[in-house]
Structure 1
Amino acid sequence: MVTVALVGASTGFGRTMLMNFLHHNDNKHKLVLLSRSEQPELLAQGVDVRPVDYSNHSQLVKALDDVHTVLSLIGGGPPALAAQLELIKACQEAGVKRFAPSEYAGVSNEGIDLYASKKEVWEATKTSGLEYTRFSCGLFMSALATGTPKPVTELGKREGMKSGEEEALAGMRRWNFVVNMKAGTADYPGDGTAPMVLTDMRGISLFVFRALDMEKWPETLGMRGDVKSFREIVEICEKVQGRKWLTKTNPLEELSARVDDPGKKFYNQVRLRLAEGWAMVGDELNKEFPDMKPITCEEFIDKWWSGVKLDEASWEEDVYAT
């Protein structure tokens, strides 16, 4: 048993990870939540909730007393950057052994301006003296449920979800990225044939939970739910939804020229990186735990879109702006 502290897990994807840890834990590890606020519901479920102010170094060090592993799930932006950097310093002083920064994306943070804070945290992690790893999952498969009208299942009800879409997204926001599942349109990076890894949120959580059992973490721990191109995803959607999709290719030189378009900088930067193989993360955790059978794109799309009555596809380019 090790004491594992999750940071930034009161809401969103972090909370999904914490709830999955609770479901699979069976007293295997002691679960700690560092949170800016009290969490009586989680406290009642056996989580050791430790309220902290990330700008209060001594308080943060005290909250990490007896903690072996820290998993950061803090969101993006400048405030998150400051919080993670303070967290690393506190881990060093408190004697924490292992630390995983909030990564959960592609093979690196290069070429994506919004990930500049991730890059800075990663560099600080590597020089911290802590044992560390980068958990890489490619794209979030769960985005493929954006817009589903399917009802919530019993699993979702147990997790407090109010709709099937909320259950399928599992902590991530609604996101029409490249594909619009409801409209039936795809705005490909390049010709849409670049392979990429997609992993759903609960699968990511379970891979990370299993990684807690590893004696030593390597620098990178990739996980693969499935490997597909956007063209292959569209083919699956056409079969499951029973309609023809509208698709558009985007030559990479044109994407490069439009990379500074207002509201689309992140979108175009990520599409460029995807075409270069950014989402083809490794399968280290799949090899480490071969008994794990993560959900595939076919299974996920069938679960959340089969039997849904939809209009003929219509192009809505503005839905892709971020």
Structure 2
Amino acid sequence: MVNVALAGATTGFGRTVLLNFLDYNKDGKHNLILLSRNAQPDLSARGIDVRPVDYANHQQLVSALEGVHTVLSVIGGGPEAMESAQLALIPACKEAGVTRFAPSEYAGRTNEGVDLYAGKEVVWKAVQTSGLEYTRFACGLFMSIMATGTPKPMTVVGEREGLKSGEEEALAGLRPWNFVINMKAGTADYPGDGTAPMVFTDMRDVALFVYRALDLESWPEELGMRGDVKSFKEVVEICEKVQGRKWLTRNNSLEELKKQSENPGKQFYNQTRVGLAQGWGMVGDELNKTFPDVKPITCEEFAEKWWSGVELDEPSWGEDVAFM
């Protein structure tokens, strides 16, 4: 048994990880602890040890981490909040005797070139010099970007979790986001010519791989996982087949994307697209090799599940991009 504490797991992607951990841990193999700023009676009722924390209170953090072996940070929110909370966690983990720590990464193989991720690099360097065992979980792009706008109804799982729509279930904690592809409008705003390969991983599969990683005796510095390897162009071809219509697409040169990055409102979107065109999203498959019995959902399966049989208008450019 591992005493594992999750930080930042009350909303968004973090909550998806936590709820899936509950499903995987029905045999009580691990003791699940939630570090939360507020009481979570619904989660306490499900057997989670909820421990209140104030990230500005070092001694309270140390006390909350007593007896914890592994800390998984899935802290989200703004860059400054993510950075400050994790920088508070790291020394508290060390003082409390925590063995392992995984920072809130869950993206590409590097954070370089994306200004919004500068805080992640600060945290990563602090982890590397902390004396804790650590790893960087990398999953490429969340496959949930293929979920925005689906009118499909919830499954039994969504009903059980009290979700409001099939879209909310498909998004799995990601906010509605038309990043490069717009599933409802049938448009794709490619980085480069859209042919760069990258990893797409469903957030529920991310949770499963991370849960299985708790069983490893030691963690290497990098633990990548791959749901599916596709280019945006290949994803569009899948969607055209599933939706039964021809999409509108456009290429964007890296020079143009870099120029557009000078606009603060579009900086993250365009810096990320440059990174993806240059291989930022092609993460490793260490966890796939370690746990070959895990069969993550593919882009085609995801598209079939959430877009097959849906009546859609002819593709049209419009408000097709959410920059943040």
Does the TM-score normalized on the shorter chain lie above 0.5?
Answer: yes
Q: Which consecutive aligned stretches of 4+ in structure 1 deviate over 4 angstroms post-superposition? A: none
Q: 1:318 to 1:299 in 2, by over 3 A?
A: closer
Aligned amino acid, residue 79 of structure 1? A
Report the secondary structure of 2:6's partner residue.
strand
Q: 1:48 maps to which residue?
A: 49
Map 1:108-257 → 2, pairs under 5 A: 108-257=110-259
> How much has 1:258 moved relative to structure 2?
1.5
> How much has 1:187 moved relative to structure 2?
0.3
Q: 1:81 maps to which residue?
A: 83
CA distance in 2: counterparts of 1:321 and 1:273, whole angstroms: 15
Q: Return 5+ residue gaps in structure 1 as ranges.
A: none
Q: 1:32 maps to which residue?
A: 33
Q: 2:100 maps to which residue?
A: 98
Q: 1:278 maps to which residue?
A: 280
Instruction: Indicate which of 312, 315, 319 corresponds to 1:313.
Output: 315
> How much has 1:11 moved relative to structure 2?
1.1
Q: 1:320 to 1:171 in 2, by over 3 A?
A: closer
Most deviating of 261-270 and 213-222: 261-270
> How much has 1:259 moved relative to structure 2?
1.3
Kindly provide the CA deviation profile for residues 247-273 of structure 1, in whole angstroms up to 9, marking residues without a partner as x.
000011111122112411000000000
Q: Return 5+ residue gaps in structure 2 as ranges.
A: none
CA distance in 2: counterparts of 1:318 and 1:261, whole angstroms: 18
Most deviating of 152-161 and 84-93: 152-161
CA distance in 2: counterparts of 1:12 and 1:129, whole angstroms: 30
CA distance in 2: counterparts of 1:261 and 1:14, whole angstroms: 30
Residue 18 (structure 2) pairs with residue 18 (structure 1) = yes
CA distance in 1: counterparts of 2:259 and 2:84, whole angstroms: 33
> How much has 1:179 moved relative to structure 2?
0.3
Q: 1:88 to 1:55 in 2, by over 3 A?
A: same
Aligned amino acid, residue 267 of structure 1? Y
Aligned amino acid, residue 224 of structure 2? G
Kindly provide the CA deviation profile for residues 154-198 of structure 1, in whole angstroms up to 9, marking residues without a partner as x.
011112211111001111111100000000000000000000000
CA distance in 2: counterparts of 1:225 and 1:305, whole angstroms: 19
Map 1:268-307 → 2, pairs under 5 A: 268-307=270-309
CA distance in 2: counterparts of 1:85 and 1:47, whole angstroms: 25
Report the secondary structure of 1:186's partner residue.
strand
CA distance in 1: counterparts of 2:137 and 2:21, whole angstroms: 16
Aligned amino acid, residue 12 of structure 1? G
Number of residue pairs the alignment of both structures matches = 322
Q: 1:318 to 1:303 in 2, by over 3 A?
A: closer
Aligned amino acid, residue 8 of structure 2? G
TM-score by length of 2: 0.98
CA distance in 1: counterparts of 2:206 and 2:81, whole angstroms: 25
Kindly provide the CA deviation profile for residues 34-88 of structure 1, in whole angstroms up to 9, marking residues without a partner as x.
0000001110100000011010000000000000000001114112211100000
CA distance in 2: counterparts of 1:227 and 1:110, whole angstroms: 21
CA distance in 2: counterparts of 1:320 and 1:19, whole angstroms: 27
> How much has 1:317 moved relative to structure 2?
5.2
RMSD (CA atoms): 0.8
Report the secondary structure of 2:200's partner residue.
strand
> How much has 1:276 moved relative to structure 2?
0.5
CA distance in 2: counterparts of 1:287 and 1:53, whole angstroms: 38
CA distance in 2: counterparts of 1:206 and 1:159, whole angstroms: 18
CA distance in 1: counterparts of 2:231 and 2:296, whole angstroms: 18
> How much has 1:319 moved relative to structure 2?
2.8
CA distance in 2: counterparts of 1:230 and 1:37, whole angstroms: 40
> How much has 1:318 moved relative to structure 2?
5.3
